Amino acid sequence: MSPSLNKWFNKFIKQLSSLKLAVFVILSLAVISAVGTIYEAKYDATYAQKTVYTSIYMKAVLGLLCINLIFVMVDRWPWKKHHTGFVLAHIGIIIMLIGAFITEKFGIDGSMAFPLGESNRFITVSSQEVNIFASYDNGNPTRVFARAVDFFKDPPTEEKPLVATLGNQEMKITDYYHYAIGKEEFVAGEKINSGPALRVQLQNKFVNMTQWLFKTPGKKLETISLGPAQIVIHDGDFKYEKGNVLSFQPLEGDRLAYKVYLDRTQSLVKSGIVKAGESFNTGWMDATLRLLKYIPNAQRKLIFVKRESPTPRTRSAILVEYNGEKQWVGLNSVIKFFDTDKVYYFSFGNRRIDLGYDIQLADFRVGKYQGTNRAMSYESVVKVPELGEVLISMNEPMKNKGYTFYQASFEQDEQGNPTTSILSVNKDPGRPIKYLGSFLIVLGSIILFYFKRMKFKEMFKRGAHE
Amino acid sequence: MNNRIITMFFLTLLVFPQQHSFAALADPLKTLHIQDGGRIKPFNTFATEALQLVYGRETFKGLPSDEEGKKNESRDAIDILLTWMLIPEHWNEAPIIQIRHNGLKEALGLDPEKTKKTHFSPAELMRNDRLALLIQELNNQREAQEKLDPYFQAVQTLESQISMFQAISTGVALKVLPPSEGSGIKKWFSLNELNGDSQKLFSEITQSFIKLVTMQISAPKPEEIKKVQQELKVAVEKFKEFARKQDPQAYGEEKLVELEVHLKDFHPFQKAWIAYLLATLFAVMAFVSNKSWAKNTAWVFMFLGLALHSYGMFLRVYIIGRPPVSNMYETVIWVPWGTVFFSMILTKLRKNYLLFICSGLVATLCLILSDLSPVVLDSSLQPLEPVLRDNFWLVVHVIIIVTSYAAFFLAFALGDILLIYFLRGEEKYKAVIKEGVHGIYRSIQIGIVLLALGIITGGIWADYSWGRFWGWDPKETWALIALLGYVAVLHGRLAGWVKDFGMTTAAVITFSLVIMAWYGVNFVLGAGLHTYGFGAGGVEYVSAFVAFHILYVVYVATVRKSRLSKKD
C-alpha cells in the first residue's frame, strides 16, 4: 500500500469508528423509532412495521450501527483490562442485532383459531396470498392460480392490475383498500334469484333506528328486531303469536300491505298499505314507522368503503374483475364467478402453514372476577398427537417440535360465553442469540460504569495529592 | 314517618353546617363488605368511589345552591350514599351529577346562560329529551367499534353516573350478602334482593342510622351520638356475622377490609409528602449554612417520609395482593420512592444536600399530584388484567423500568436547580456546579443500566408469554428511545462535546423522552399492547410542563452565551 493510500485508509477507518458517527446513529435510531410509534397510534402495528421498522432507512441505520460498533472495537485493539465493559456491551449489541436478523429471516410468527371442540392444523401468518380454484360441472375444485402478494407495498390499480391468466380469459385485481369496512347493499336485479328488500325507520322521542330487511329468495319469511318490535317480511300467510310485531307482505308493483300487532292486547290493531316514502304511526310508544326504500326484486351485494385509519371492524379488500363483472372481496374470504361451463372460486387471505398434524381444542375455560364479566384468566386444553392433552394458559405456553403455542385471546358471543380460543404460534431460531446479546449488554454496561467510577476515584485521589 | 325525618336531615344538610367533629355519622358502616368491581371492598371505599364518579369529589361539600360565604363542612361519602338510598326522591331533584364537558352541556341544552354550572339533578337530566338520543348515538358508536372521542367519553361517563345514582338509590348496586356456600353462585345479593333474616338485620342498621340522623336536628351531645353509634355498630356486626355464616370463604378477610378503611382514613401518602417537604426545607438550610443540626433534621424527615411512603405502598400491596405495577397512579407513587432512595444513597456517599432538595421536591410534587386528580390518576384498587397476573418477569420488568425513571427524575431535578446557578454565575458557583453535575452523571448512569435491564426483562416477559422478544410496541419503543437519548448524551460527554452545562441541560431536556415513555404513550398516543394502563386527561398540563422546561433551558443558554461572548 502506498503511504498516501494508507493514510487515506486510516482516516476512513477513523471516520467509521468515530463517536460522531455513533451519536448520529443513536439519534437517527431514536427519531425513526419515534416516527414509527406515531404511525402506530394513527394507523396500526402492521402499518408502522411496514413503513418504518422494516424500512430501508431502518436497515441502513442498523447496518451503520454494526459497522460503527465493529470499527470502534478494532480501533481500540489491543484491548486492555479497562476495555472489558466497553467490549462486552458493544459485542452484546451486535449479537442482539444478529439474533433479530435471524428471527426476521427464519422465524415464524402466526396464530391459530380453534372454535370449541374443533381441530386445526394451519398456522395463519401475516403475509397474504391469492388463490383461484376452478370447478367444472360441479366437480371438485382444483387450484389454477396461486400468488403471494403484498398489496400494501405494491397496490394494484386500473393501470397496473395483477393479472391471472385462466385459459384464454383474464381475471384482474384492479384496486386495493388497506382499511375498508364491508357494507351490504341492495340493488335492483332480475326476477330470478332476488327477493324484496326494504329499508325502514322507527322513530319517536327517544329512539331513531334505521335498518334493512331482506328476504332471501326461497325463504318464506324473514324477521329482524328493531327497538321494541319485530319486523317481519313474508310471502303468503303469516301467523301472529306474541310480541309487538309489524308484518309486511309485498303486493303487485311498489306497494306493501302492513299489519301491526300489539303485545299488550295480543291482537291486530292496525293494517294498511304503504309505498316507499310514506309513514304511519305504529301505536307502540308513539313511534312512527317510515318506509324509506323498497326494492321488490333486490340482490344482496357486498361493497367496501375506504377508511383512512383502522377500527376493529376494518379489513383490507380488493376489487376483482372477470368477464366484465366486478366484485369486492375482503381479506380471508372467498367470492365466486360463474362462467358458462365452470365456477371460479377466488380467495384472498393470510398465508397458512401446515403444521403436519392436527391439534384439537378439547376444552376452554374462562375464569372471571367475582360478580363481574371481566376475564381473570383463560386457558385451553388441547389434544396433540404424541403429547396427549396439554394445558395452555396465559404465561404457560406449550412447546412442540420447534413451535411454541401461547394462549393469546378468545372470542365470545353476546351472552359472554366463549366461542373460539386463539393461540399465537411461533418459532424463533434467533432466541438464544438474542438472550446472549442481552446478557452481554447488561453485564457490559455495569462493568463499564463500575470502571468509570474507579477511574474517577483515581482522578480525585491524584487531584488531592497534587 | 321515617321519610319525613330523613327529609329534615336532608334539609339540615343543605342549611346547617356540621356541628360535630365526627368523621362520619355512619362510621361503623365503613367496614361493611361490598362486592364490587370484581373484588370485596369496604363500604367506605365503595361510597367514596361512587361519590367521586357521580359528584366529582370524594366528600360532599354541600350544594352549589347554598349561599356563598357560608361554606359547608365536607360530609362523608357513606352518610351521603345512605341518604341516596333512604330518600332518593329528594336527591333526585338536587344538583349532584357533575358534567364538566362543555360540548355535552351544550348538546343537552343545559345551562343556556353559560353560568359555568357544573352540577345537575338526576331528574333534570332524565327529563331531558336529548339524553336518550345521545345515549343511542353512543351505542351506535360502540356497536361500530369506533374509538370514542372526548365528547362521547363524556356521554359515556354521564350514562354511568346516572345509572350509578339509580343503582344506589334502588339498592341494586350494594351487593352485601354472599349466596350460601356450595350454591355455585359467585354474584352476591344486593340490598333489594334481601329477604327474611338478612332483610330484618339490615333494617336494624337503617333504623340506627335514621336515629342518628334525626338526632342531628336537636343539637345532641357527643356522648348521645356515641351511644347511638354504638347501637349502629352492634347492628352492623350482627349483619356481618350473618353474612359471614353464609359463606365464610367468599365473605373475605375482615382484616383486609379494615386495613383498606385505615388506608383511606390515615392517608399515608399525604403525611409522607408533608414530611418530604419539611425534609426539603431543612436540606435547603443544610445546603446554605452547612449546619449539622439542619443536616440531621433533613435526614430524620427524609426517613420519616420514606417510612410513611413505604407503609402506604405496603398497605396497597397487602390489601390487593399484588405488586403496585398496573396503572399510572401506582407508578406515580413508585417513582418518587425510587428518587428518594437513590438520593439517600448518593447523599450518604458524597454529602451533597442538593440531592436531598431535588428528591424532596420530586417526591412532594408526585405525591401531591397523585392526590390532586383522581380522574386522571385512578387510585382505586383494581383487579389485574389476565396478562398481568402471576408473572415474575412482568413484576421485575415494570419495577426496574419505573425505578430507572426515578433515577432520571433525580437527574432532571438536579439539572433544573443547577440551571439557576448557571444564571447566578458560573464562576462563582463552580464547586456547586461540579458536584451537581457529578450527581447528574451518576443518576443517569444508574438510570441507563436499569432502563436497559428493564427493557430486556420486558423482552423476556414478552417472549415468555407472547413468544415475541421485541415487537415495536409503542411503550417498549419509547422506553428504547429514552434509553437511546441518554446513551447519546453519555457518548457526547465521552467525545467532549457535552461539558458541565451540556450535561445540565441534557438532564432536563432528555427527561422529556421519559415523560413521553411514562405518560405520553398511555395518555397521548393511546396505542399498543399496554392498553391496560391507558387513561385520559392532563395532557395540557404535562405539555405545558415540558414546554416550560424547554423554554427555561433555552433562556439560560441564551443568557449564558451572551455572557461568554461579552467576556471574549
Spatial CA neighbour of A256 closest among A301, A295, A282, A210: A295
Position A331 confidence tier, pLDDT thresholds 50, 70, 90? very high
Could you tell me if B427 and B320 lie in one domain? no
- Cα dihedral value B474, B477, B483, B489, nearest 10: -90
| Identity of the residue in A19, A208, A371 whose CB atom sits nearest the CB atom of B133 | A208
Assigned C-alpha cell, B494: 465521552
Could you tell me if A364 and A410 lie in one domain? yes
Question: What pLDDT sits at residue B535?
Answer: 56
Kindly state whether residue B380 falls inside one of the protein's structural domains: no
SS (H, E, C) B255-294: HHHHHHHHHHHHCHHHHHHHHHHHHHHHHHHHHHHCCHHH
Identify the domain boundary among B325, B346, B374: B374
Position A368 confidence tier, pLDDT thresholds 50, 70, 90? confident
Question: What pLDDT sits at residue A459?
Answer: 52
Could you tell me if A287 and A364 lie in one domain? no
Phi, psi of B486 (to 5 degrees): -70, -35
Question: What pLDDT sits at residue B102?
Answer: 85
B149 to chain A, any CB pair closer than 8 A? The answer is: no
Kindly state whether residue B157 falls inside one of the protein's structural domains: yes
Per DSSP, the residues of B528-545 read SS-GGG-----HHHHHHH
Could you tell me if A420 and A443 lie in one domain? no
User: Measured between CA atoms, how close is B502 to chain A, in angstroms?
Assistant: 15
| Identity of the residue in B38, B146, B513 whose CB atom sits nearest the CB atom of A371 | B38
Could you tell me if A237 and A294 lie in one domain? yes
CA distance linking residue A10 with residue B36, whole number of Å: 71
Question: What pLDDT sits at residue A391?
Answer: 94
Kindly state whether residue A92 falls inside one of the protein's structural domains: yes
Best interface-test mutation with B: which of A33, A42, A395, A440 has the largest number of B CBs within 10 A? Answer: A395
Assigned C-alpha cell, B54: 357521580
User: Measured between CA atoms, how close is A109 to chain B, in angstroms?
Assistant: 8
Q: Do A182 and A302 contact (CB within 8 A), yes or no?
A: yes
**Whether A311 and B147 lie within 8 Å, measured CB to CB:** yes
Q: Do A28 and A61 contact (CB within 8 A), yes or no?
A: yes
A35 to chain B, any CB pair closer than 8 A? The answer is: no
The residue behind cell 436497515 is: A59
Which residue range(s) make up the domain with B275? 266-374
Identify the domain boundary among A300, A325, A345: A300
SS (H, E, C) A216-260: CCCCCEEEEEECCEEEEEECCCCCCCCCCEEEEEECCCCCEEEEE
Could you tell me if B67 and B205 lie in one domain? yes
Could you tell me if A26 and A116 lie in one domain? no
Kindly state whether residue B397 falls inside one of the protein's structural domains: no
Q: Spell out the residues 6+ positions from residue B529 whose beta carbon is closer than 8 angstroms to its own.
A: B471, B473, B475
Kindly state whether residue A337 falls inside one of the protein's structural domains: no
Spatial CA neighbour of A68 closest among B294, B160, B265, B487: B487
Q: Spell out the residues 6+ positions from residue A32 whose beta carbon is closer than 8 angstroms to its own.
A: A52, A55, A57, A58, A61
Kindly state whether residue A25 falls inside one of the protein's structural domains: yes
Q: Do A186 and A295 contact (CB within 8 A), yes or no?
A: yes
Assigned C-alpha cell, A79: 484491548
Could you tell me if A26 and A94 lie in one domain? yes
Question: What pLDDT sits at residue A415?
Answer: 76
**Whether B491 and A408 lie within 8 Å, measured CB to CB:** no
Could you tell me if B220 and B327 lie in one domain? no
ipTM: 0.82
Could you tell me if B535 and B436 lie in one domain? yes
CA distance linking residue B458 with residue B460, whole number of Å: 5
Q: Spell out the residues 6+ positions from residue A462 whose beta carbon is closer than 8 angstroms to its own.
A: none
Question: What pLDDT sits at residue A14?
Answer: 83
B188 to chain A, any CB pair closer than 8 A? The answer is: yes
**Whether A34 and B481 lie within 8 Å, measured CB to CB:** yes
Kindly state whether residue B447 falls inside one of the protein's structural domains: yes
Could you tell me if B431 and B517 lie in one domain? yes
Best interface-test mutation with A: which of B190, B475, B477, B532 has the largest number of A CBs within 10 A? Answer: B477
Q: Which residue has the higher pLDDT, B462 or A101?
A: A101
Give SS3 for A202. strand
Kindly state whether residue B405 falls inside one of the protein's structural domains: no
Q: What H or E segment, with its residue span, contains residue A169?
A: strand A169-188
A30 to chain B, any CB pair closer than 8 A? The answer is: yes
pTM above 0.80, yes or no: yes
User: Among residues 64-93 of chain B, which lie with CB inside 8 Å of chain A?
Assistant: none
The residue behind cell 367475582 is: A370
Q: What is the CA radius of gyration of chain A?
A: 33
Could you tell me if B436 and B334 lie in one domain? no
CA distance linking residue A390 with residue B16, whole number of Å: 67
Phi, psi of B181 (to 5 degrees): -55, 140
Kindly state whether residue A284 falls inside one of the protein's structural domains: yes
Could you tell me if B357 and B219 lie in one domain? no
Q: How many domains does chain B have?
A: 3
Kindly state whether residue A313 falls inside one of the protein's structural domains: no
| Percent helix / strand / coil, chain B, rounded to 5 | 70, 5, 25
Could you tell me if B322 and B280 lie in one domain? yes
Question: Nearest residue on chain A to B179, judged by CA atoms?
Answer: A371
* Buried residues in B215-246 as b, exposed as e (16+ CB within 10 A): bbeeebeeeebeebbebbbebbeebbeebbeb
Assigned C-alpha cell, B374: 383522581
CA distance linking residue A336 with residue A347, whole number of Å: 9
Could you tell me if B284 and B314 lie in one domain? yes
Kindly state whether residue A18 falls inside one of the protein's structural domains: yes
Euclidean distance between the first and the last CA atom of chain B, given in angstroms as a whole number: 90
Best interface-test mutation with A: which of B481, B498, B531 has the largest number of A CBs within 10 A? Answer: B481
- Average pLDDT taken over every residue of chain A: 87
The pLDDT tens digits for A205-229 are 767 788 888 888 878 888 888 767 8
| Torsional class of B378: left (φ above 0), alpha (ψ -120 to 50), beta (otherwise) | beta
Could you tell me if B271 and B246 lie in one domain? no
Assigned C-alpha cell, A67: 459497522
Q: Spell out the residues 6+ positions from residue A5 whose beta carbon is closer than 8 angstroms to its own.
A: none
Q: How many domains does chain A have?
A: 3
Identify the domain boundary among B353, B374, B395: B374
CA distance linking residue B94 with residue B77, whole number of Å: 16
Could you tell me if B41 and B174 lie in one domain? yes
Kindly state whether residue B389 falls inside one of the protein's structural domains: no
**Whether A445 and B39 lie within 8 Å, measured CB to CB:** no
Q: Which residue has the higher pLDDT, A12 or B560?
A: B560
**Residues in a beta bridge with A67:** none
Which residue range(s) make up the domain with A271? 188-300
The pLDDT tens digits for A275-320 are 888 888 887 777 888 999 999 888 888 889 999 888 888 999 999 9
Question: What pLDDT sits at residue B16?
Answer: 46
Question: What pLDDT sits at residue A334?
Answer: 92
CA distance linking residue A454 with residue A449, whole number of Å: 9
Kindly state whether residue A243 falls inside one of the protein's structural domains: yes
Go through chain B and tell me how many residues it has: 568
Give SS3 for A18. coil
Kindly state whether residue B395 falls inside one of the protein's structural domains: no
Question: Nearest residue on chain A to B394, judged by CA atoms?
Answer: A395
Could you tell me if A399 and A375 lie in one domain? yes
Spatial CA neighbour of B553 closest among B430, B433, B429, B416: B416
Kindly state whether residue A248 falls inside one of the protein's structural domains: yes
Per DSSP, the residues of B486-525 read HHHHHHHHHHTSS-HHHHHHHHHHHHHHHHIIIIIIIIII
Kindly state whether residue B404 falls inside one of the protein's structural domains: no
Percent of chain A's residues with pLDDT above 90: 43
Mean pLDDT of A403-415: 86
CA distance linking residue A212 with residue A294, whole number of Å: 10
A33 to chain B, any CB pair closer than 8 A? The answer is: yes
Where are the extended beta strands (E) located within B372-485?
none
User: Measured between CA atoms, how close is B128 to chain A, in angstroms?
Assistant: 10
User: Measured between CA atoms, how close is A235 to chain B, in angstroms?
Assistant: 32
Find the range with the poorest average confidence among A371-380, A450-459, B331-340. Answer: A450-459
Q: Give pLDDT tens digits along chain B (568 positions).
A: 456 666 656 655 554 444 444 467 788 899 999 999 888 999 999 999 999 999 988 888 866 554 444 455 678 888 889 989 888 888 888 889 999 888 888 888 887 777 778 899 999 998 887 888 888 888 888 887 777 778 888 899 999 999 999 999 999 999 999 998 888 888 899 998 998 889 999 999 999 888 888 887 777 778 888 888 899 999 999 999 999 999 998 898 899 999 999 998 899 999 999 999 999 999 999 998 888 999 999 999 999 999 999 999 999 989 887 777 778 888 999 999 999 999 999 999 888 899 999 999 999 999 999 888 776 777 777 777 666 666 677 788 889 999 999 999 999 999 999 999 999 988 899 999 999 999 999 999 999 999 999 999 988 888 887 778 888 888 899 999 999 999 999 999 988 889 999 999 999 999 999 999 998 888 887 655 454 445 566 788 899 999 999 999 999 999 999 988 887 6
Best interface-test mutation with B: which of A15, A20, A26 has the largest number of B CBs within 10 A? Answer: A26
B103 to B142, B154, B155: CA distances (angstroms):
19, 9, 10
CA distance linking residue B260 with residue B321, whole number of Å: 12
The reply to whether omega before B374 is within 30° of 0 (cis) is no
Q: What is the DSSP letter of A208?
A: E
Question: Nearest residue on chain B to A366, judged by CA atoms?
Answer: B386
B383 to chain A, any CB pair closer than 8 A? The answer is: yes
Could you tell me if B245 and B272 lie in one domain? no
**Whether A449 and B449 lie within 8 Å, measured CB to CB:** yes
A6 to A9, A12, A13, A406: CA distances (angstroms):
5, 10, 11, 56
Mean pLDDT of A144-157: 93
Across the A:B interface, residue pairs with CB atoms under 8 Å apart total: 159
Could you tell me if A203 and A290 lie in one domain? yes
